[in-house]
Amino acid sequence: MSLSFPCEVSEEELKRFLELERLSGEELELEDLENEYILINEVYQICFLKRLGIRLDSSDLIERKKLLLKAKTEALRAELELAFQKGDVEWIRYRLEMAFKVLDLLPFLLGVNRSDLKELEDLLRMYAKKVQYPT
C-alpha cells in the first residue's frame, strides 16, 4: 500500500486533535504517535476532516459526529491495510480487540446511532476474517 496523505498536518494540528479526541474518550498522548500505525490513523483522520472543510475545534466536530465517525473508520481502514500488507497480524488482532471492546460505547461517546456504525462493523469483520480473529 502506497501511503500518500491528501494534506499536510502540522504538529500543532496533531496536538489539538489529540486534545479533542480526549473529549470523546480516547486516551492518546504525543508519545503514542511514535507507533507508525497510530500516527497514520491520526493523520488520516485529520486529512479526512480537513478535506471536508471541518475545523479541528470542538464546536465544529461536535456538530458533525457522523463525519467524525466516518473519518475514524477511513483512518482505521488505512491503518489496518498497512499492517496487513506488512504482515503485522499481531497489530491487526490488537486493534480489532480494542475496536470490538469500544464498539458498544461509540454511540454514547460520539452521539451517533448504532445503525451509523455499520460501515465500521463491516470493516472490523472483514479484517477479523482476514486474520482469523474470533468475532
**Own/partner long-range contacts of 96-101 (Cβ < 8 Å, ≥24 apart):** 96/124, 96/127, 96/128, 96/131, 96/133, 97/133, 99/124, 100/124, 100/135
**Tens digits of residue pLDDT in 6-36:** 688 898 988 888 887 766 667 777 788 899 9
Residue 85 C-alpha cell reads as 500488507
Which of 67-71, 73-77, 128-132 is the least confident region?
67-71
User: In this predicted model, what pLDDT tens digit does every residue of 103-119 receive, in sequence order?
Assistant: 988 888 778 889 999 99
Looking up cell 498497512 gives: 82
Average pLDDT, the chain: 87
Radius of gyration of the chain (CA): 14
Kindly list the domain boundaries of the chain, sorted by start residue.
Answer: 11-130
